Amino acid sequence: MLFIILLVVVAIFAPVLASLIGHGPNELFNRTMLDDFGLPLGPNSEFWFGADASGRDVLVRMIYGTRVSLAVGLLATLFAVGLGVALGLVAGYLGGIVDTVLSRIAEIILSLPILLFAIGIVTACGASKEGCARGAIKPGLMLVVLISAFFTWPWMFRIVRGVVLQLREREFVDAARAIGAGPTSIMFREILPNLISPIIVYASLMIPQAVLFEAYLSFLGLGVPDTTPSWGRMIADGSQIYDVAWWLMLFPGIILLLTVLAFNLLGDGLRDALDPKSDR
């Protein structure tokens, strides 16, 4: 939890931290930080985490990378949760053909090989600056967010739908119908408040998925452009010269691992804290 707060603070104050260190994220230090063969130098007192192949400060780039990772993680989860909750409520409460159609769609998306598809889309749309679909889809951060959200909303959908199926049999739903409340009012006023804990728990478990997803795509060179530092991108770049510059992969790798771990722990903790059995 503390770690997550720290990440958020770092992300928000990235420029401040960078100016404290005195290096910009895309500033080239090829005089000082590249050796005679053009290979980067490792950690020293000025460049704590060393420099990358272009002579840029790894620490500063990682600090900026926090922004990208968190932004992608939070935005993608936000979209996925919004879509999943809304559709899950509708499918679970209305049932019938609406439910059947939505559930099938969710199943199909869940059964797709996500990475393969994502690579396909990003390659198709990321090949040129114009993007694809007549420029409607452009490469970049937003594309990563949307793809990630598109492939993860069925997760939330399934959980919400399942809980709603149970809740709608409860007598308080009949009670609401008996006073004349309509389906929208019942879904959002009666049922939604009872979904808060599962939504929070699963949302916190979806964030690390999105963070990882961004890292995968960036690793494959399909995510954000090179001038936007991202952990996945840095790991990818580092992997090409890992035998001479171990620090390029190690530090972003550790931070990625810690972040994913922290969010998973948060999710587990929230699940225990919000367990419906204990909040009765």
Partner 1 sequence: MTEPTTTPDATPGATVTADVPLVRARGLVKRFPITRGVVLQRAIGHVHALAGVDFDIYAGKTLGVVGESGCGKSTAARIVARLLEPTEGTIEFEGRDITTLSRRQMVPLRRTVQVVFQDPYASLNPRQSVGQIIAAPLRVHGVEGDRRKKVQELMAQVGLNPEHFNRYPHEFSGGQRQRIGIARALALEPKLIICDEPVSALDVSIQAQVLNLLGDLQRERGLAYMFISHDLGVVRHVSHRISVMYLGSIVENADRDALYDNPRHPYTVALISAAPTGERGARTRRLLLAGDVPSPAAPPPGCTFHPRCPKARLVSGDPAEVPERCRTERPVLTDVGEGHQVACWYPIEKGDAEKMMEIQASEITLEGDPELGVAQTEGLTDAQPRPDDLVDGGTGL
Please give the residue ranges that form the binding site for partner 1 (CB under 8 A).
Answer: 170-172, 174-182, 185, 190, 193-194, 196, 280
Comparing CB distances to partner 1, the nearer of 80 and 159 is 159
Q: Are 91 and 157 in contact (CB under 8 A)?
A: yes
Task: State in angstroms the smallest separation of the CB of 100 from partner 1.
Answer: 8
**∠ CA 44-45-48, rounded to 5°:** 65
Task: State in angstroms the smallest separation of the CB of 176 from partner 1.
Answer: 7
Task: State in angstroms the smallest separation of the CB of 279 from partner 1.
Answer: 8
Comparing CB distances to partner 1, the nearer of 109 and 181 is 181
- Report which DSSP code applies to 38: S
Q: Are 206 and 167 in contact (CB under 8 A)?
A: no
Q: Are 3 and 258 in contact (CB under 8 A)?
A: yes
The token pair that represents 63 in the structure block: 């600090």
- Report which DSSP code applies to 244: T
Task: State in angstroms the smallest separation of the CB of 15 from partner 1.
Answer: 42
* Exposed/middle/buried for residue 47 (C-beta within 10 Å: 0-12, 13-18, 19+): buried
Task: State in angstroms the smallest separation of the CB of 46 from partner 1.
Answer: 55
Comparing CB distances to partner 1, the nearer of 135 and 276 is 276
* Exposed/middle/buried for residue 139 (C-beta within 10 Å: 0-12, 13-18, 19+): buried
Task: State in angstroms the smallest separation of the CB of 179 from partner 1.
Answer: 4
Comparing CB distances to partner 1, the nearer of 52 and 99 is 99
Comparing CB distances to partner 1, the nearer of 41 and 181 is 181
The number of helices, as runs of H, and strands, as runs of E, in the chain is: 11, 0
Identify the H or E element spanning 260: helix 247-273
Report the alpha-carbon distance of residue 184 to residue 186 in Å, rounded.
Answer: 5
Comparing CB distances to partner 1, the nearer of 36 and 171 is 171
